[in-house]
Amino acid sequence: MKTRLTATPTEDDIEAIRDGLRGYNKNFIDAYSFKDLCLFIEDESGKKQAGIVAETVGNWLNIKYLWVDESLRGQDVGTHLIQQAEQEAIARGCHYALVDTFSFQARPFYERQGFTCQMSLDDYIEDIRAPSDAPATHSRFYLTKKLA
């Protein structure tokens, strides 16, 4: 047995660990409980301008990424994406939603959508804009919501 440390894993490296964990998990949960859910807003040429990458797992919608291009911000695009993702999650039998965000990102946006902060990890990551003589960090927040 040997240990290999890498900062550049291959897709095969990641897939081997994912498959191993899923192999163990299938003793407890149906592998089909995990379903991708993605929504995209694209321009006429197909370039992504906004989107959500998420998955539904059992009773939960897990939002992994939500991004809206600067040119579309302030036009309720994020709200539209969240609402569509929630509708699809409800159709799949979900009762709850989970999202995480950094302090410089979108916590107030998610709270306006009905999410409540359940946990924060303070001093999570350094702010690269902070002056060298004034250390500053960002927090990471985990928010949940009960779906209708």
**Torsion from C-alpha of 14, 16, 22, 24, nearest 10 degrees:** -130
- Looking at the domain assignment, is residue 4 inside a domain? no
- Looking at the domain assignment, is residue 20 inside a domain? no
| pLDDT tens track for 48-107 | 999 999 999 999 999 999 999 999 999 999 999 999 999 999 999 999 999 999 999 999
Parallel, antiparallel, or unpaired for β 48-57 and 137-146?
unpaired
| pLDDT tens track for 59-69 | 999 999 999 99
- Looking at the domain assignment, is residue 5 inside a domain? no
- Looking at the domain assignment, is residue 126 inside a domain? yes
The domain spanning residue 52 has which CATH number? 3.40.630.30
pTM of the model: 0.86
Token pair of 77, please? Answer: 């695009």
Averaged confidence pLDDT in the chain: 94
- Looking at the domain assignment, is residue 108 inside a domain? yes
- Looking at the domain assignment, is residue 84 inside a domain? yes
Domain extent, residue 134, equals 30-146
- Looking at the domain assignment, is residue 23 inside a domain? no
| pLDDT tens track for 105-148 | 999 999 999 999 999 999 999 888 887 777 688 999 999 999 98
Q: How far apart are CA 114 and CA 107, in angstroms?
A: 11
Number of domains in the chain: 1
Q: How far apart are CA 51 and CA 99, in angstroms?
A: 14
Can you give the pLDDT at residue 30?
86
- Looking at the domain assignment, is residue 25 inside a domain? no
Higher pLDDT, 26 or 112: 112
